[in-house]
Amino acid sequence: MIIVNDLIDRELIVYYPLLLTISDHGNPSQSTNLSLLIEILDENDNCPQLHIETSFIMINRDITKKQYLIHLIASDNDQDLNGEITFELSPLTSPSFVILYTNGTLIIQTNSNLIYDDSLIILHVQIRDHGKPIPCLIVETLRLFIGSNRTDWLNILKKYNYYDETSLVRKQKRKEA
């Protein structure tokens, strides 16, 4: 029987050396050493994480005439299938002019007649690993604001709480110093 005093995590240490000494009770006593390397198998103990600076994305249809492309990046610290990630849009928030490929490529067809200027589109992105026995699923919310050259972008930022005048003032003071 082997007793472990600490947690074992494959993401930290993959192999543990084990030195086994076998001795008899003879006179003189004889012994032999056996070196073993124990490989820790991966467990699906990590969930995917989305790496994105902001979940609020503004698209100007007058600049982006046909389509807007974003590549979402996520990671999972697990190994093999436990760490493989796929992306999918939630069926509840999946407008026909938005395509999300399983590799994280998100395409918004900005020339769609289903989009009105100054509209907010909420997308729920499902990110899952292929872990066994149970995959891990997270859902991230992306907010797409689609406008045009006539859009008052500053008011849009204020309206959806993505504009902070105090941080803007602090940044201006740092530049002046």
Higher pLDDT, 162 or 48: 48
CA–CA separation, 158 and 23 (whole Å): 76
Higher pLDDT, 2 or 82: 82
Has residue 122 been placed in a domain? yes
For residue 166, the model assigns a pLDDT of 55
Q: Sign of the C-alpha dihedral, residues 109, 110, 116, 121?
A: positive
Residue 119 bridge partners (DSSP): 146
Has residue 172 been placed in a domain? no
Q: Using an 8 Å Cβ cutoff, are 102 and 88 in contact?
A: yes
What does the pLDDT average to over 64-72?
92
How does the average pLDDT of the chain come out, rounded? 86
Has residue 72 been placed in a domain? yes
User: What is the number of alpha carbons within 13 Å of residue 8 lying toward its C-beta?
Assistant: 13
For residue 11, the model assigns a pLDDT of 81
For residue 170, the model assigns a pLDDT of 42
Has residue 96 been placed in a domain? yes
What does the pLDDT average to over 75-101?
91
Has residue 2 been placed in a domain? no
Is 151's pLDDT higher than 70? yes
Has residue 26 been placed in a domain? no
For residue 176, the model assigns a pLDDT of 53
Q: How confident is the model at residue 168 (pLDDT cuts 50, 70, 90)?
A: very low
Has residue 39 been placed in a domain? no
Answer whether 0.85 is exceeded by the pTM: no
What is the separation of C-alpha 101 from the centre of its chain, rounded to a whole number of angstroms?
15
Is 171's pLDDT higher than 80? no
- Cα dihedral 124, 138, 88, 86 in deg (nearest 10): 150
Nearest to 69 by CA among 120, 116, 103, 94: 103
Domain span at 86: 49-163
Has residue 16 been placed in a domain? no
Tally the domains of the chain: 1
Higher pLDDT, 171 or 77: 77
Nearest to 119 by CA among 156, 149, 173: 156
CA–CA separation, 87 and 130 (whole Å): 11
- Model pLDDT for residues 117-131, shown as the tens digit of each residue: 888 889 999 999 999
Q: Using an 8 Å Cβ cutoff, are 108 and 67 in contact?
A: yes
What's the CATH code of the domain at 99? 2.60.40.60
For residue 163, the model assigns a pLDDT of 62
Region of 104 on the Ramachandran plot (φ > 0 left; ψ -120 to 50 alpha; else beta)? left
- Model pLDDT for residues 34-65, shown as the tens digit of each residue: 999 999 888 888 899 999 988 888 899 888 88
CA–CA separation, 137 and 47 (whole Å): 7
